[in-house]
């Protein structure tokens, strides 16, 4: 589960960074919003799933 979340987080960040180079206008904004929300949700989920005893 955590490995998949890390993969989604890295993919969302990579796509979010590359949108400014590849896309323009409204398309860039919409893709950035989607990948940004995915990155935030994945980050929060990973934070909540962390080991408490570490």
- The pLDDT tens digits of the residues spanning 8-51 come to 999 999 999 999 899 999 999 999 999 999 999 999 999 999 98
Query: DSSP readout, 1-24?
Result: -HHHHHHHHHHHHHHHHHHHHH--
pLDDT of residue 25: 93
Residues spanned by the domain of 40:
2-48
Kindly report the pTM of this predicted structure.
0.82
* Domain assignment present for 54: no
- Name the residue with tokens 């005893």: 53
Residue 53 lies in a domain: no
14: left (phi over 0), alpha (psi -120 to 50) or beta: alpha
**Count: domains in the chain:** 1
Q: Is the pLDDT of residue 54 over 70?
A: no
Residue 24 lies in a domain: yes
Rounded Cα gap, residues 42 and 21, in angstroms: 24
30 vs 54, residue with greater confidence: 30
């Amino acid at each position: 589960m955590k490995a998949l979340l890390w993969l989604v987080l890295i993919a969302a960040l990579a796509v979010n960074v590359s949108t400014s180079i590849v896309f323009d206008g409204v398309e860039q904004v919409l893709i950035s919003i989607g990948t940004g929300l995915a990155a935030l949700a994945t980050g929060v989920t990973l934070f909540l799933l962390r080991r408490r005893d570490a």
